[in-house]
Amino acid sequence: MSSFSALKILPSHPIAGEHRRHSSPFHAAPAGRLLRSSGANYLSSSSSVTAAGRPVRVLSANVVSNEKQIGSALAAITSKEALDLYEDMVLGRSFEDMCAQMYYRGKMFGFVHLYNGQEAVSTGFIRLLTARDTVVSTYRDHVHALSKGVPARAVMAELFGKTTGCCRGQGGSMHMFSREHNLIGGFAFIGEGIPVATGAAFSSKYRREVLKESCDDVTIAFFGDGTCNNGQFFECLNMAALWKLPIVFVVENNLWAIGMSHFRATSDPEIWKKGPPFGIPGAHVDGMDVLKVREVAKDAIARARRGDGPTLVECETYRFRGHSLADPDELRNPDEKARYSSRDPIAALKKYVLEHNLVPESELKAIDKKIDELIEEAVEFADSSPAPPRSQLLENVFADPKGFGIGPDGKYRCEDPGFTQGTAQV
């Protein structure tokens, strides 16, 4: 049986009553439309389980799409859509594999966290977004940037610390940013991107309701399972629900927070359940299956875009490499790693596309070749690009360069020609 069988639907908890009033930061809103689960509308489910032994749960279909059976149209993707999904996933995987090579050759420095194995989540969500929509990522952000349209050469140059990088070489692996593509981080500390994403969603609502602009922009906040016991996560769920912000909270649950098993770190490992107490629909989906992720993402994004508020989606996925390239990856069980590796999301999509005669294999091979050439060009571009000048160290630190303070001679430190002497060569 194909790994792309229809999603199994289980009931979600009631998340609102008819008496519930949705607050707005701008004006008093009328009572919100009822979003609740009715026992008569539950969709049947078989006892399918994930590799971690949990049933695949998604939110009750009537919560997000008026009883449309999520997963019923999994086969109904066009050839063009199939090629786009495949190309984006192959780009992410090939880029990360090249990053590993470059890191071990000494072309990259610091911590580099690769995304191998999790491509179905990035592709499943981001390829549904518009150019105006916003993505907020984590320290595992290279592939999110690529999916959002940041050129591979700009991401690679940033990893090389060059001026042609998307942050002029000042961000590095964990701080990808592109205003042009509405990618606003890359954040190194867990949880710190969630408030930023909530603020971005707030700005969309503010522009629409206060400034009366035509704005239906949506924000996607990506974060991991290790973040979901942090205070920022719960505070932002509350604010997003209170103000019905256009945001989708996407948990990339790869089951490990560095070397800590998810099942040892939290009292209830089912993260999707943390949404309903705030009035937010919660979903659990197989994050190794891009078509399943895509179907849930469609509903969650559409729900946010039409003003119905946030959704919490837990994508159960797995990283094929250690936490970072400095991690020997000795803590995870080899059988567990092998079990998830056998469910490679790219191989599964390729198998599905060929079995359903969506595109000939020759077109997939052409994409593979195209991506290989693109990655090689990105490396050549990054390697030949200039390093930032030492004077750039003083930029983007303080709004006023005089904030560096006054030296022993009574002059501003930034005015001393030798101010940056002794710093590491960039």
DSSP string covering 314-355: EEE---SS-SSTT----SS-HHHHHHHHTT-HHHHHHHHHHH
Q: Is the pLDDT of residue 111 over 50?
A: yes
Each residue of 343-401: pLDDT tens digit? 999 999 999 999 999 999 999 999 999 999 999 999 999 999 999 988 787 777 766 66
CB atoms within 10 A of CB 169: 22
Distance CA 40, CA 349 (A): 34
Q: Which amino acid is at 316?
A: E
Confidence of residue 423 (pLDDT cuts 50, 70, 90): low
Which residues does 406 contact at the CB level (< 8 Å), separation at least 6?
412, 413
Pairing state between β 247-253 and 219-224: parallel
Distance CA 173, CA 161 (A): 9
User: What letter does residue 222 receive in the DSSP assignment?
Assistant: E
Q: Are 310 and 249 in contact (CB under 8 A)?
A: yes
Q: Is the pLDDT of residue 270 over 70?
A: yes
CA distances from 148 to 99, 123, 184, 303 (A): 19, 9, 11, 20
Closest CA to 313 of 285, 276, 277: 285
In order of their start, the domains of the chain are 2-384 (3.40.50.970)
Q: Is the pLDDT of residue 293 over 90?
A: yes
The reported pTM is 0.81
Residue 261, beta-bridge partner list: 256
Q: Is the pLDDT of residue 315 over 70?
A: yes
Each residue of 204-238: pLDDT tens digit? 999 999 999 999 999 999 999 999 999 999 999 99
Strands of 131-213 (E only): list them.
Answer: 134-136
Residue 250, beta-bridge partner list: 222, 313
Mean pLDDT of 181-198: 94
CB atoms within 10 A of CB 158: 30
Helices (H) and strands (E) in the chain, counts: 12, 7
Closest CA to 93 of 126, 125, 124, 120: 120
Confidence of residue 420 (pLDDT cuts 50, 70, 90): low
* Token couple for 327: 């991690």
Q: For the CA atoms of 146, 152, 155, 159, what is the dihedral angle to 10 degrees?
A: 130
The Cβ-side half-sphere exposure at 170, using a 13 Å CA radius, reads 14
Each residue of 47-64: pLDDT tens digit? 344 444 444 344 433 333
CA distances from 84 to 60, 64, 88, 123, 218 (A): 29, 25, 6, 9, 21
The Cβ-side half-sphere exposure at 327, using a 13 Å CA radius, reads 19
Q: Is the pLDDT of residue 154 over 60?
A: yes
Collapsed DSSP state (helix, strand, coil) of residue 412: strand
Residue bearing tokens 């229809």: 6
